[in-house]
Every structure is written in C-alpha cells, then in structure tokens.
Amino acid sequence: MTKIFLSVVIPCFDEMANLQKGVLDKVDNFLSKKPFEYEIIIVDDGSRDDSVNFIRDYVKGNPHFRFIASPHTGKGGAVTKGVLKAEGEYILFTDMDQATPIEEIDNLLPFFKKGYDIVIGSRNTRRKGSPLSRQIISRAAIVLRKVIIDIAGITDTQCGFKMFRADAAKPLFTKIDKIHNGFQKVRGSNVSSGFDVELLYLAIRNKYKIKEVPVHWLYVETRRVNPVTDSIDGVKELLRIKKNALTGKYGRN
C-alpha cells in the first residue's frame, strides 16, 4: 500500500453553500497534480442542512476522500477527530470556504525541510478585505494573548490553515482531546477562538518548532461571526487557558 504523504482535514457544519460552489473539486484537482499520495478527510460536525448527503454522494468512488460523521461538538472537536484519524506524514487542517486556498500548501511545505514541526498560515494584522472593526479586534487580540498567556512570536493564531508533522500532530491532538474529554456536544456553530490558541500554546510548551508564514486570504462574510460576542468569548477562552496552565492541566513545561 502506498504511503500517504499529506492528509487534508476539512470540518463541515452546514456548508451547503460552499459545497455547491465546488470547493471539494478545487481541492482535489489541485492535489491530484502533485507527485505525492494524499487523502482528504471531511468531518461533518452534525450539520443540519443537506451537507451530509451531498458529501456522501461526492466521496463515493473517489479513493482520495474519506467521510466521518460526528455529533455536533464544534470546529475544534471535528478537526481533532479528523487529525487523529489521518494517515498522512503531514496533516493540514483548512476551512471549507477556502478563504485560504489549498494552493498555499506550496508556501508551507518547504519549511518542514528546515526543521519545523508546525507551519501555520498567517493573514498578518492587515486582514485584507475584512471590515475595519475586525482588523481592530484582531490587533487587540494579539495584545491580550501576549498579556494573558504569553504566546510569543505568533501574530495570527486564528488563520484556519495549519500544517503539522504527523509525529507532532498526533500527541498534540491526543492531549487536547483528553483535556476536553473527547469534546462534548454543543449548540450553534461554535467556532471557538480558544481551540487554535490552546493548540499552539500546548505546542510551545512541548517545545515544537513553529513557523508562521504569510498566506493569501480572502475575507468571507459569515453569519457565524459576531465581533462583540466573539471578542468576549475570546477573552473568556484566554482566561480558561491561563487557569488550566496555573492548575497544571497542561503538565509541566
């Protein structure tokens, strides 16, 4: 059996609008031209629309696709489930809307040859195309992350385009799965900023080498984003992570 080089994990929650735009074709078509084996893992996070039926029909007969149906545990739970099932030497998780296009893997992969364990996409602080209010919030979040949990050297923790060596991903995601007790069922879209921050915080504590790389990114308007409530939730998540660190939940440095 040919060894899989790259696993791409894509969480899905009520994504019919994006699915109908042909995003899965786009990802598959790009990867099919690469000189390596790959798999695309779609993890449905308890969608309420017709996403499940669409994906089930799509993946039939396509050996590069795998489909995982999951209860609604939020994006963090869906990504974690996909990563732990991935078989690739490298594992990328990315968003269904492809705000950061799959082509950006070409900018991330070279850094693994330079010794990095984790390479993450960065939209930088400008966030081209996003409203001014979102840009201001993103800058404030950088300051708060530094003050509360001291994530040094990472500007953009929230870009949904992160790649890992499998030998870094498996222990990290196993740990975060354990911390969240396998992730519990939730309501609403639950795209929590805390998941990405906590993941990178754990990586830093475990001495993994992380590289942040600028990527092309297009702002995509979504009803799942609320600047006020998301900002409040973000601060709460930072305080939760700080509490976990102080009480030894993440283990010793």
With H, G, I as helix, E, B as strand and everything else as coil, classify residue 6: strand
pLDDT in tens, 196-223: 999 999 999 999 999 999 999 887 655 5
Residue 203 to residue 208: CA distance in whole angstroms = 5
Tokens, residue 77: 């739970």
Number of domains in the chain: 1
pLDDT in tens, 150-179: 787 888 998 999 999 999 999 999 999 999
* Sole residue written with tokens 């939760």: 240
Within a domain: 127? yes
Within a domain: 165? yes
Within a domain: 251? no
Within a domain: 168? yes
pLDDT in tens, 184-197: 877 666 566 689 99
75: containing domain:
6-246
User: What is the CATH number for 15?
Assistant: 3.90.550.10
Average pLDDT over residues 232-244: 86
Query: How many helices and strands (H and E) does the chain possess?
Result: 9, 7
Within a domain: 93? yes
pLDDT at res. 149: 83
Residue 213's beta-bridge partner residues? 121
Within a domain: 174? yes
* Sole residue written with tokens 């305080």: 239
Within a domain: 153? yes
Q: What is the DSSP letter of 102?
A: G
Count CA within 13 A, CB hemisphere, residue 52: 11
Radius of gyration of the chain (CA): 17
Residue 234 to residue 141: CA distance in whole angstroms = 8
Please state, in angstroms and as integers, the Cα–Cα distance from residue 47 to each residue in 96, 183, 184, following that order: 13, 16, 16
Within a domain: 242? yes
Strands 90-94 and 6-12: parallel
* Sole residue written with tokens 């600028």: 214
Residue 140 to residue 129: CA distance in whole angstroms = 18
